Amino acid sequence: MLEVRDLTKRYGDVAALDGASFRVAPGRIVGFLGPNGAGKTTTMRTVFGLVHPDRGEVRWKGELIGPGERARFGYMPEERGLYPKMKVGEQLKYFAELSGMDAPTAKDATAGWLDRLHLGERAGARLEELSHGNQQRIQLAAALVHDPELAVLDEPFSGLDPLGVQAMAEMLTQTAATGAAVLFSSHQLDLVEDVCQDVVIIDHGRIVLTGAVEELKAASAHRSLDIRVDGHPWVPILPGGTITNKQGGRERLLVDSSVDLEEVLTSARRIGEVTAFSFEPPSLADLFMAAVSEGARR
């Protein structure tokens, strides 16, 4: 269990983190979501001691994190980077050994990962000779080569095509299946909706929502409502009010979950022919918007 407690970090007048607390359980894939600049990278770097918080702490299995713990973590920074001129196989083995693996184990782990990525024959190639996509894969392998108990991946999906996203999602699922805790960040909430089991949503350095995705959706006081009358979106006037959320170039409507659907449908029919009607649990983006606006109201 990774426990982040009350992290606070200021850069000059800017509060990058403002009392952020959350947990990551073993075997779970946790999406660390929020807009750019919300404090995701700062939090992740704090886990690895790359940033020293002004206040707060990070614990692993109840212990404050030191070099011994970090050796069992894997980290893929947002700014990707490996040695361009070093051979791929040597490079992965080097990182495995730096994380505490002995030489033979590191060698086996490297071979295993290269096979898994179908890059076994490129072990002797310099990193810079690989395609961009393959370099990304090696980057992920460098983070996971030593079978970490905790994998922290900063924006692993950014820059990937849909196939790449799928492959990355599978990789994360496999990693979590081995019992590792997986924490990954993303600012594209819709993209990772189906990947994460738990979410930690951060905004302006504060955690605004955390929990299991399904539970959060079910427990949400909102529902996503989409009504089309004569092919056009239609917005009912409701007692609880509505929140609109622009997503994918389309307005989405969040309404109170207790809304009387029959009444809404009846009023819609009075206007014209109802061509589409959906009433669903909110998306992650909806949850985020609701949480942020709630936070703003408080």
Most distant CA pair in the chain, distance? 74
Q: CA–CA separation, 267 vs 253, rounded Å?
A: 17
What letter represents residue 86's amino acid? M
Map residue 131 onto helix, strand or coil. Answer: coil
Nearest approach, Cβ of residue 152 and other proteins (Å): 8
CB atoms within 10 A of CB 14: 10
Q: CA–CA separation, 171 vs 167, rounded Å?
A: 6
**Under a CB-based contact definition with an 8 Å cutoff, are residues 206 and 19 in contact?**
yes
Nearest approach, Cβ of residue 85 and other proteins (Å): 8
CB atoms within 10 A of CB 208: 21
- Please say which residue, 43 or 220, places its beta carbon nearer to other proteins: 43
Residues numbered 23-52 forming contacts with other proteins, rule: CB under 8 A? 45, 48-50, 52
The binder of other proteins chosen from 4, 33, 143, 292 (CB under 8 A)? 143
- Please say which residue, 142 or 287, places its beta carbon nearer to other proteins: 142
Nearest approach, Cβ of residue 4 and other proteins (Å): 16
- Please say which residue, 86 or 123, places its beta carbon nearer to other proteins: 86
- Please say which residue, 15 or 71, places its beta carbon nearer to other proteins: 71
**Under a CB-based contact definition with an 8 Å cutoff, are residues 201 and 21 in contact?**
no
Question: Which segments of the chain does DSSP mark as H helices, in order?
Answer: 40-47, 67-70, 88-98, 103-116, 132-144, 162-177, 213-219, 261-271, 284-297
The CA-atom distances, in angstroms, between 79 and each of 125, 235, 249 are: 22, 42, 29
Nearest approach, Cβ of residue 99 and other proteins (Å): 5
Nearest approach, Cβ of residue 59 and other proteins (Å): 17
Nearest approach, Cβ of residue 84 and other proteins (Å): 6
Our finding on whether 193 is near other proteins (CB under 8 A) is: no
Binding mask 50-79 for other proteins (x = CB under 8 A): x-x-x------------x--xx-x-xxx-x
Nearest approach, Cβ of residue 193 and other proteins (Å): 28
- Please say which residue, 49 or 124, places its beta carbon nearer to other proteins: 49
Residues numbered 99-138 forming contacts with other proteins, rule: CB under 8 A? 99
Nearest approach, Cβ of residue 169 and other proteins (Å): 22
Q: Which of 38, 47, 290, 11 has its CA nearest to residue 183?
A: 47
Residues numbered 78-97 forming contacts with other proteins, rule: CB under 8 A? 79-86, 90, 94-95, 97
- Please say which residue, 12 or 239, places its beta carbon nearer to other proteins: 12
- Please say which residue, 1 or 83, places its beta carbon nearer to other proteins: 83
Q: CA–CA separation, 180 vs 154, rounded Å?
A: 16
Question: Backbone phi, then psi, for 81, in 5-degree steps?
Answer: -170, 130
List contacts with other proteins (CB under 8 A). Answer: 45, 48-50, 52, 54, 67, 70-71, 73, 75-77, 79-86, 90, 94-95, 97-99, 142-143
